[in-house]
Amino acid sequence: MSVAEKLLRELPAFDVTTILIFVAVFFACLLLVAGVTGGRHSKLSLPPGPPGWPVLGSLLFFIRRKDPHPSDLKPWVKKYGDILYVSMGPQGVVFLNSHDSIQEAFVRKSDQFSSRPIWLFLFKSIVGPKGAGVIFSNGQKWRDLRRFTLTSLRDFGMGKKTLQESIQHESRLLVQDFEKFGGEAFDPGTVVQTAVNNIISIVVFGERHEYSDQGFNEMLDLLNTLLRLSAFGIEDFFPWTRHFIPNSKMKKRLAILKELYDRIRDHVNEHRLTFDPNNLRDFIDLYIKVTNENNDPETFSEKNIFRVVVDLYFAGTETTASTLKFGLLQLLHHPDIQKKCQEEIDRVIGPERAPKGEDRLQMPFTEATLMEIMRYSPVVPNGVPHATETDAELHGYLIPKGTVVFPNIYHVLRDPANFDRPDEFRPERWLDDSGQVIKTDKLINFSVGPRTCLGKTLAELEAFIFFTTMLQQFSFQPAEGQDIPSPDRGQLVPNGVPHATETDAELHGYLIPKGTVVFPNIYYVLRDPANFDRPDEFRPERWLDDSGRVIKTDKLINFSVGPRTCLGKTLAELEAFIFFTTMLQQFSFQPAEGQDIPSPDRGQLGITYTPFPFKIRAVRR
């Protein structure tokens, strides 16, 4: 039994039905309504949105979905347009459903939309009322921590040859682990997750772990369990209900957070005992050095080191691991694309040499395939939420200070206005007529603006190296007798990490009141026909121009946009490339015999969007 399971079983349960909780909340809300003056912003132009219950708003829609999916907002987007206003309990939330509205808010008006909201009880319990870490801090503390973290990542390898060599080495070890199965069906999820986590472990703690390391696997299990429990519930808006709800997710989260904090604190204490300012080994050592030299307990505190470590693990591992897992699913559904990637790998890299970041320029189809994987299955489909720092105007609407703002990345990447046939998987959409990658600003998986993911470059490199290494060595096939999961379904946190308005704001002619939660609907943006032709098709060629070069675009917003772009974007891209190419260099991947290939259009609910578990066969090339 895992540590996470033990923690969950030790929690007390209450024999009270959820229905009674809703009734209690409803009558409590009626009492609150009696004392609240109506319509603080009734005379201002808020964005349109669905009607909701008094006080609860549309909260029940989000917490009662049995099989949540990023496309659940599509009917609302179709009815209300690019900017959608929703009440979640006492919190106003805005979803940005078009590439233009996301760019305007997070880039052109980033000074107003770059705050992070601490609106849910879960967030407050983790980071405190003022925020902590790199993702959920604000103001000067955020700028100082982001600058320090970026500098530290550069010092310890991000963008340097040493870290690339670590990714290449880990890719080879991943290949060796695949070989142990001898072509039989296995679940690649755990092995891929562990391999990617080892990269950030090297940066943060200065060490990698064997895949069988019990302590390391327990920590990863705690992190994964926390991600799965992260979808918000009634307790986040009405914290007192957690004392009555049977098997309250909030109590489970807090128990896991305490265990995680204790484990990270033990690592930090070990580093303090062996700390040498003249021999800095890793990120933890550098943080200790800065803490000793700076009299700034508000920024460089023990709470912040815990939060920054968790932020780095989330930003630097979950995105890459889920991208690779979705990538393997797509290869099972599209063996012709797997073959084309392997032909390019054989031509550029060969069967023996380890893939490296520089190969990306010579491998447009593989690069386009990775871009299409990120477009088709954005790992954080609604991005990391922002909040308005002042009243703001956006597309004629007022967005009040403190409004939480989500970029609907999924919709942008599935919008026919951005991509032709967006529901088809077509890597060639990213290639021009000469076969080169088309650079575009519409691939916004890592978000945009000042909050753009900190680890974007590393994430892209990792994805490339792991992906190419796997395909270099193996061909992947479905497991016998099992359906291949759809890449359209996965685990997700449909609301990502929210933004919030700090003042009243105007957006596209609508009022966004102060304190409104703003979600970027990334999933919808990435599936919007206005952005992508046939967006529901998996087509890597959509990213290539006529010369076969990769098309660079700002519409692939998986890592969000603006000042709050994902911390791990660089790391995720680097890892994805190296792992992806290494796998394809060594293997061909096939379905398990006798089993259907699950659809990549469905997945599981958690902090990120990840496919359901599935089995494949890795056949040595």
Kindly state the tokens that stand for 190. Answer: 């755990």
Q: How far is CA 54 from the centre of its chain?
A: 32
Q: What is the DSSP string of 332-400?
A: HH-HHHHHHHHHHHHHHTTTTSPP-GGGGGG-HHHHHHHHHHHHHS-SSTT-S-EE-SS-EEEEEEEE-
User: What stretch of H or E contains 579?
Assistant: strand 575-590
Q: What is the DSSP string of 450-490?
A: TBS-TTHHHHHHHHHHHHHHHHHHEEEEEEEB-PPPPTT-E
CA atoms of 164 and 571, how far apart (whole Å): 10
* CA dihedral sign of residues 217, 222, 223, 229: positive
Q: In the 3-class helix/strand/coil scheme, how is 384-442 assigned residue by residue?
A: CCEECCCCEEEEEEEECECEEEEEEHHHHEECEECEECCEEEEEEEEEEEEEEEEEEEE
Which residues make Cβ contacts (< 8 Å) with residue 406, sequence separation at least 6? 93, 94, 95, 96, 382, 383, 385, 386, 495, 496, 498, 499, 517, 518, 519, 520, 521
Could you list the residues known to form a binding site, using ranges: 453
User: What stretch of H or E contains 225?
Assistant: helix 214-228
Pairing outcome for strands 536-538 and 423-425? parallel
User: What stretch of H or E contains 555?
Assistant: strand 541-556
Q: At what angle do helices 283-293 and 189-205 cross, to 10 degrees?
A: 30
Q: In the 3-class helix/strand/coil scheme, how is 228-296 assigned residue by residue?
A: HCCCCCHHHHCHHHHHCCCCCHHHHHHHHHHHHHHHHHHHHHHHHHCCCCCCCCCHHHHHHHHHHHCCC
The owner of tokens 């347009």 is 81
CA atoms of 276 and 285, how far apart (whole Å): 8
Could you list the residues known to form a binding site for heme, using ranges: 453
**Residue 386 Cα distances to 56, 252, 520, 566, angstroms:** 22, 26, 8, 12
